[in-house]
Amino acid sequence: MTSSSASSVSSALAPYGWDDAWADEFAPYVTEGLLPGRVIRVDRGQCDVVTADGVLRADTAFVTPHDPLRVVCTGDWVAVEPGGNPRYVRAYLPRRTAFVRSTSSQRSEGQILAANVDHAIVAVPLSVELDLGRIERFLALAWESGAQPVVVLTKADLVPEAETVAHLVQDVETSAPGVPVVPVSSLGGDGLDVVAAIVGGGTSVLLGQSGAGKSTLANALLGEDVMVVQATRDVDGKGRHTTTTRNLLALPGGGVLIDTPGLRGVGLWDAESGVGQVFSEIEELAERCRFHDCAHEAEPGCAVLAAIESGELPERRLHSYRKLLRENQRIVAKTDARLRAEIRKDWKRKGAIGRAAMEAKRGPHWRS
């Protein structure tokens, strides 16, 4: 690639996140005559790739392995053939980040939703009661991906009292340590400048359930009605899938946005460190427990239980923490034979302790 062609590639792809580091990663494919590009949409084994020559349609079969986490996805930087019928994606560049959830199938496979994301925007509608557990679940996956999560409370115009909105923001902040929480009215424009400043640098992915207002928010950030918007049901605030594929869009003020379909199921996928970051205050308290393997159930000297007793830590947070850790452990165990054996061993150990405690409570002559 000549310096002039490299310059044209850089100017054409810079709005989509191309930089010198990506150019260095792509260098081995230059001699093969392949084109660099970013995947802006994937469907049915094919994808749309934005390149310096425009948007190209390419087949992903050449790089589709048996591992579902290694398929081409929206946000990937790829090496694509300049011509051919069909045209193929020959490789994708190493991902900086990847947003992955577990599938709803019984095969316990991971599903990659977006790649090379800097910010994960979790859209939460204020039109229905807050589900803090669901927010924590989204945040665990976001932290695990390597992206910086942001919670956007959409439809803030439906909550007329500013004091009520402030209380809702505070509730979410308690469940999202270290995460910006921004109330937004996509229709009125309140809070949009804050979100635009966040997404203006790098790539952001919009996440949330159906009816969360993601497409309305995307349109507001784009400055035009690119995404179709459907009304939510009045009875429960839920919506239908407006977006059916993941679409990557360059924002007029800079930055890139990936809009995703509404996610009904958000299963964890090997997200232990992400869970730890969502519940960082619990893990910090746990370091002060008397026993290093404290289960925070009834052990003496448990700093976590002491924090609940004093009101410093909401009991709901501990329940949610345990639930997500157990779920993540089950998912990992299904693909890790060694971990399965350790879990069974732990179950037997706890069972033996429980039986011994029961026998001690009943006394030495209870069998006679």
Convert the pLDDT of each residue in 258-269 to its tens digit. Answer: 998 766 666 777
Cβ 256 vs Cβ 95: under 8 Å: no
Model-level pTM? Answer: 0.81
What is the C-alpha separation between 85 and 105, in angstroms, rounded?
A: 34
In this structure, of 189-193, 211-215, 349-353, the range with the lowest mean pLDDT score is 349-353
Whether 145 shows a pLDDT value over 50: the answer reads yes
Q: Mean per-residue pLDDT for 188-201?
A: 91
Q: What does the pLDDT read at residue 339?
A: 47
- Are 159 and 129 in contact, with CB atoms under 8 Å apart? no
Q: Show the beta-strand stretches assigned E in 221-293.
A: 247-250, 256-259
Q: What is the pLDDT of residues 216-247, one digit of tens each?
A: 899 999 987 665 554 444 444 444 444 456 79
The predicted model gives 130-144 an average pLDDT of: 92
pLDDT score recorded for residue 195: 94
Tell me the C-alpha distance between 171 and 346, whole Å.
36
Q: Which helix (H) or strand (E) holds 351?
A: helix 337-362
